[in-house]
Amino acid sequence: MKKVLSLAIVFAFVMMVVFAAVPAAAQDTRVGIVLSTGGLGDLSFNDAAYRGLQRAEEELGISFDYIEPADPSEDQTALRRFASRGYDLVIGVGFQMADSLTTVAGEYPDTKFAHVDQFFEDIPENIVSLNFAEWEGSFLAGALAALTSESGNVGFVGGVDFALIHRFEGGFYQGARYINPDIEIQSRYADDFGDPARGREIALGMIDDGADVIYHAAGGTGSGVFQAAEEEDIYAIGVDSNQNYVAPGYVIASMLKKVDNAVFDTVKSVVEGNYQGGNNLYFTLADGGVDLTSLTEVGQPVLDAHENGTITDEGLETIREMKENVTSPYADRIAEIKEMIINGEIEVENWGETGRPDNL
């Protein structure tokens, strides 16, 4: 009886998938994504990966499903369910999923996998790993911070003290020093990616010590940094996604990590049949994988936030004014530096590999 019931349900599920999948022509590609524990709504890479899949759904006619695991024990089970149900591409997001993904990829050699944000030493043939040259983008953030700072004192708030975040810190540090070799740089770690209250405390402490531009690479903890910037009337720089609308007028730019583009490109490669597994890919300034938001124009995500009522007309106006008065004077300088990084005149060190220098 139980068997009949479960068979019936499996059948119903199959029918659902089959009939839901009628519209577009190339509708046969299915993508499953397992997000990292932060889940949707982190305004950061989970959201960005999701946007990439939404775009792929619209433009390439794929279909996708996502899972938000409640804790790391669920990662493997979730990945395996997608693989066992014959999804064409299974994506895992976040460094803590790397082990689980390797295990499951070993069990399903014919399924294609992708991973966001972890370099694989010994990468299996059916995994493509999407990494980002955060240090290059953060270099621009550091340069901008040093240019806009009046006190000659800038701050960096990191999520957790480890290699991935050291890449952001290192880029920021080198960028700020490039503009002003005597600049004072405060650097602190919150030990948490989801604790805005702690982010705010750290930022307030930095402001007390004279910082007037603060860059964060701390996920949800960063919203506390924005709050502190707004309270104390100083500037902040966002990370990962365009966060310029979060505290209108106080977030002067965001270092973009275009997880959405990388995910979209990977899906596209699967649809078009030229997926190349066994590679650690790096997306850089040169190919637009990392970048700084425009210093002169208001970006689309900000306009969208205005459209759906997240920010008011006034907020949008404040952001426009800020761009005009604060950041646009430096647009040419930053563009020049970006060009120099791309053609190799400036070499940015990756602290994720070289290690964080002890005497800062």
Partner 1 sequence: MNNYSEKIKSVLTDLGLSLLSIVIALIVGTLFIFLTDKSPLDAYSALYIGAFGNFSAIANTLWRSTPLILTGLAVALPFRAGLFNIGAEGQLLMGGFTAGVVGFYFTSLPAFIHLPFAIIAGMLVGGLWGGLPGFLKAKMDVHEVIATIMLNHIAIALTINYGINIFRDTGRPATPRIMESASMFNFKNIMDYPLLSNLPFAELFAQPAIRLHINFFLALIAAVILWYLLFKTTLGYEMRAVGFNPDGAEYGGINASKGIITAMFISGAVAGLAGVGEVLGTHLSFMQGMDAGYGFTGIAVALIGQTHPIGVILGGILFGALAQGGLEMQFSGIPSEIVMLIQALVIFFVAALQVFKVYLAKRKAKGGVE
Provide the minimum distance between the beta carbon of 115 and partner 1 in the complex, in angstroms, as a whole number.
12
Provide the minimum distance between the beta carbon of 201 and partner 1 in the complex, in angstroms, as a whole number.
16
User: In terms of CB distance, is 85 or 177 closer to partner 1?
Assistant: 85
* Residues numbered 53-112 forming contacts with partner 1, rule: CB under 8 A: 65, 67-74, 76-78, 80-81, 84, 95-96, 98-99, 107
Stretch that binds partner 1, among 4-12, 21-29, 140-148, 215-223 (CB under 8 A): 4-12
Provide the minimum distance between the beta carbon of 240 and partner 1 in the complex, in angstroms, as a whole number.
17
Angle (nearest 5°) at CA 216 between 170 and 239? 95
Provide the minimum distance between the beta carbon of 252 and partner 1 in the complex, in angstroms, as a whole number.
29
Q: Show the binding pattern over residues 341-360: x = contacts partner 1 (CB under 8 A), - = does not.
A: -----------x--------
Nearest Cα to Cα of residue 123 among 262, 277, 283: 277
Stretch that binds partner 1, among 48-56, 114-122, 132-140, 313-321 (CB under 8 A): 114-122
User: In terms of CB distance, is 5 or 22 closer to partner 1?
Assistant: 5
**Interatomic CA distance for residues 208 and 232, integer angstroms:** 10
User: In terms of CB distance, is 2 or 309 closer to partner 1?
Assistant: 2
Provide the minimum distance between the beta carbon of 180 and partner 1 in the complex, in angstroms, as a whole number.
30
* Residues numbered 132-191 forming contacts with partner 1, rule: CB under 8 A: 160-164, 191
| 119 lines the binding site for partner 1 (CB under 8 A) | yes
Provide the minimum distance between the beta carbon of 77 and partner 1 in the complex, in angstroms, as a whole number.
6
| 118 lines the binding site for partner 1 (CB under 8 A) | yes
User: In terms of CB distance, is 25 or 70 closer to partner 1?
Assistant: 70
| 1 lines the binding site for partner 1 (CB under 8 A) | no
Q: What is the SS3 string spanning the chain? A: CHHHHHHHHHHHHHHHHHHHCCCCCCCCCEEEEECCCCCCCCCCHHHHHHHHHHHHHHHHCCEEEEECCCCCHHHHHHHHHHHHCCCCEEEEECHHHHHHHHHHHHHCCCCEEEEECCCCCCCCCCEEEEEECHHHHHHHHHHHHHHHCCCCEEEEEECCCCHHHHHHHHHHHHHHHHHCCCCEEEEEECCCCCCHHHHHHHHHHHHHCCCCEEEEECHHHHHHHHHHHHHHCCEEEEEECCCCCCCCCCEEEEEEECHHHHHHHHHHHHHCCCCCCCEEEEECCCCCCEEECCCCCCCHHHHHHHHCCCCCHHHHHHHHHHHHHHHHHHHHHHHHHHHHHHCCCCCCCCHHHHCCCCCC
Provide the minimum distance between the beta carbon of 33 and partner 1 in the complex, in angstroms, as a whole number.
12
Residues in contact with partner 1, counted by CB under 8 A, come to a total of: 37
Provide the minimum distance between the beta carbon of 348 and partner 1 in the complex, in angstroms, as a whole number.
18
By CB under 8 A, name the binding residues for partner 1: 5-6, 9, 12-13, 37, 39, 65, 67-74, 76-78, 80-81, 84, 95-96, 98-99, 107, 118-119, 121, 160-164, 191, 352
